[in-house]
Every structure is written in structure tokens, then in C-alpha cells.
């Protein structure tokens, strides 16, 4: 498998330069087509309303949202037109209630979705909804970038957060183009009581699978020396100077929508390197 279609989503003009420059770097590396979705997110949730003043307010809000989307699109095209990659850009104005549906429909045909962190000073409340829609509804692997973007040596040293789960295995399969190019791959297993009781040789089956793809993995059995598993994994990322983390995206249901679970949110919040995840 190779990444031949990358998708990145911009919800404001101020995201354009950092996100597009990182996405361009990835598209060039994998000889992929880059799709850019420029969103205008209308915060008004349409329901029953009286004609007159309410209708005028809604139209005004929509018009302002359209102007913001136009500005994002113009900035994105200006950045893309001077590059030598294959790309396309699409402008969409969407009401907040339909955001998940739009992201899901666009992301499901991408090999990899590239997004910024849903936490931090520059994050907005809709960033988490965009990420969750791509992961859970769109069923797409997502590369979440830190605010610093793509690091030097990206993908040369990779930590896999492994717990024998389906989500983690899906993330590993999605990361295979990067894993096959890595100089060092560490299968990190936090030694909890559950793992100790269920597996005599944890990680060996995964190691064998990766080796057959030409990857030379090492297994790191990590003592649970910190209260949170996420902290143990991120400490290992720092210890080996990894430039990418691969992990499953875990969540729970909120009525009909899936939202990120606590451990996944903690990893995204604290990670200083890109995180590739899948559900």
C-alpha cells in the first residue's frame, strides 16, 4: 500500500500556511495527490424560527462565513499554485450540525488525512469534531501534527503503542508505508497486569508480521512507572528521540456519535511529534 490521496482540512485562513506546507511535504514524499478542503463553519444550528429578524441574522451569519471560506480558499490556492505536486481544493460552507457528515464523506476516500492537534492555543472547538468524524465515521487513518509541523527525520524512528487491540493493528497497517522506510521501529508495550496474564511473549506475532514487510522491529516492554499508560508511552517516545508515534484511536459512544476516549486525548494533548492513528 502507498499513500496516493492525502486530505487536509482548513477551517480558517490562519491555518493555511502551516498545514499546507506540511501536507505538501508529505505529498511530495509519497508522490500523492493532495486534496485541500477549505471550510466555512456556520455556527447557527437551523431549527424552527420566526421570519423577520431571525432570518436576517441567519443570512448575515452565513454571508460572513462564506467570506471567511473564500479567504481561506484564496490563501490555499496561492500556496498550492507555486508547487510541483498534484492537488485540488474545494470550498465548503457548512452548518455546525452537518460538519461531521461533510468530513466523513470527504475523508473516507483518502489514504491519509492530515490534521492539526485539537488542543492547544490555536485550536478551536470544532477541531475535535473534525478529527472524530474522520476517524470514526470516515474510518480513515489520521496523521495529527503538532504545532511545529513535520519534524526533521520524520518517520525515521517510530514508536508503536501496542496493546494487542484491533484499533492499534489498524493503525499499524495504515502506517506501513512509513514503517517500511523507518530506520528504527520500537513496539512499545506497557507491562500491565492484563498483558502479563494473557501473553507469554507479547508483541512477537506483530514483530513477525512487520519483519515479513522488511521492517526490523524491536520490542520494548515498559514498566508502568507512571499512573497513565499514555505518559509511559510518551516518555519512551522521548527516550529514543522518535519522530512519529503510531497508535490506535479509542473512543466511546455519545448517543450515535463516537468521541475520543481519555487515553487518546491525553496522547494527542501531550505529544510533541506527529501521531498516526486509526480506529
Q: What confidence score (pLDDT) does residue 122 get?
A: 84
Q: Is residue 246 part of a domain?
A: yes
Give domain status of residue 50, yes or no: yes
Last residue of a domain, one of 99, 118, 145: 145
Residue 151 lies in a domain: no
Residue where a domain terminates, one of 121, 145, 169: 145
Q: What is the structure's pLDDT at 56? A: 59
Spatial contact of 185 and 156, defined as CB atoms under 8 Å apart: no
- pLDDT at residue 36 above 60? yes
Say whether both 181 and 241 belong to one domain. yes
Domain check: are 121 and 209 in the same one?
no
Whether residue 245 is found in the same domain as residue 163? yes
What is the count of structural domains for the chain? 2
pLDDT tens across 194-225, in order? 555 456 688 999 999 999 999 999 999 999 99
Same domain, 164 and 100: no
Looking at the structure, tell me whether residues 141 and 19 fall in a common domain. Answer: yes
The reply to whether 80 and 203 lie within a common domain is no
Please determine, for residue 193, whether its predicted confidence score (pLDDT) is greater than 70.
no
Is the domain of 140 the same as that of 163? no
Confirm whether 64 is domain-assigned. yes
User: How would DSSP label each residue in the chain?
Assistant: ----EEEEEESSGGGHHHHHHHHHHHHHHHT-EEEEEEEEEE--------TTHHHHHHHHHHHHHHHHHHHHHHHHHHHHTTSSSEEEEEEEEEEGGGHHHHHHHHHTT-SEEEEE-SSSTT--HHHHHHHHIIIIIS---EEEEPTT-SPTTTTSEEEEE--S-HHHHHHHHHTHHHHTT-SEEEEEEEE-HHHHHH-SSTTHHHHHHHHTTT--EEEEEEE--SS-HHHHHHHHHHHTT-SEEEEE--EEEETTEEEE-HHHHHHHHH-SS-EEEE-
Residue 19 inside a domain? The answer is yes
| Same-domain status, 14 and 116 | yes
* CATH number assigned to the domain comprising residue 249: 3.40.50.620
- pLDDT band, very low/low/confident/very high, at 54 (cuts 50, 70, 90): low
CA 106, CA 113: separation in Å to the nearest integer?
A: 10
- Is 150 part of a structural domain of the chain? no
Contacts of 174 (CB under 8 A, 6+ apart): 112, 141, 276, 278
Arithmetic mean of pLDDT, 150-156: 98
Please check whether residues 26 and 140 belong to one and the same domain: yes
Boundaries of domain holding 191: 157-278
Is residue 117 one of the residues assigned to a domain?
Answer: yes
Among 96, 117, 145, which residue terminates a domain?
Answer: 145
For residues 117 and 162, membership in a common domain is answered with no
pLDDT at 256: 44
215 shares a domain with 122: no
Mean pLDDT over 13-25 rounds to 97
Check whether residue 117 and residue 200 sit in a common domain. Answer: no
Amino acid at each position: 500500500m502507498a499513500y496516493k490521496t492525502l486530505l487536509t482540512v482548513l477551517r480558517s485562513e490562519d491555518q493555511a500556511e502551516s498545514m499546507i506546507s506540511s501536507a505538501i511535504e508529505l505529498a511530495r514524499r509519497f508522490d500523492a495527490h493532495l486534496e485541500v478542503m477549505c471550510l466555512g463553519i456556520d455556527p447557527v444550528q437551523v431549527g424552527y424560527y420566526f421570519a423577520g429578524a431571525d432570518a436576517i441574522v441567519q443570512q448575515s451569519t452565513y454571508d460572513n462565513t462564506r467570506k471567511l471560506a473564500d479567504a481561506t480558499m484564496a490563501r490555499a490556492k496561492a500556496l498550492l499554485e507555486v508547487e510541483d505536486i498534484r492537488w485540488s481544493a474545494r470550498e465548503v460552507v457548512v452548518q455546525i450540525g452537518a460538519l461531521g457528515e461533510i468530513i466523513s464523506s470527504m475523508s473516507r476516500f483518502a489514504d491519509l488525512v492530515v490534521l492539526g492537534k485539537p488542543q492547544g492555543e490555536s485550536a478551536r472547538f470544532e477541531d475535535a469534531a473534525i478529527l472524530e468524524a474522520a476517524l470514526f465515521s470516515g474510518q480513515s487513518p489520521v496523521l495529527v501534527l503538532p504545532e511545529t509541523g513535520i519534524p526533521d527525520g520524520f518517520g525515521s524512528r517510530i514508536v508503536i503503542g501496542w496493546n494487542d487491540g484491533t484499533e492499534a493493528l489498524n493503525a499499524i497497517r495504515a502506517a506501513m508505508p512509513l514503517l517500511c522506510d523507518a530506520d528504527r521501529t520500537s513496539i512499545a508495550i506497557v507491562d500491565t497486569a492484563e498483558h502479563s496474564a494473557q501473553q507469554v511473549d507479547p508483541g512477537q506475532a506483530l514483530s513477525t508480521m512487520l519483519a515479513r514487510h522488511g521492517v526490523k522491529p524491536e520490542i520494548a516492554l515498559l514498566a508502568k512507572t507512571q499512573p497513565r499508560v499514555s505518559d509511559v508511552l510518551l516518555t519512551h517516545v522521548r527516550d529514543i528521540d522518535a519522530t512519529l508515534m503510531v497508535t490506535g484511536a479509542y473512543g466511546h459512544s455519545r448517543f450515535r456519535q463516537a468521541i475520543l476516549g481519555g487515553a487518546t486525548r491525553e496522547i494527542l494533548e501531550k505529544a510533541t511529534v506527529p501521531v498516526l492513528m486509526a480506529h
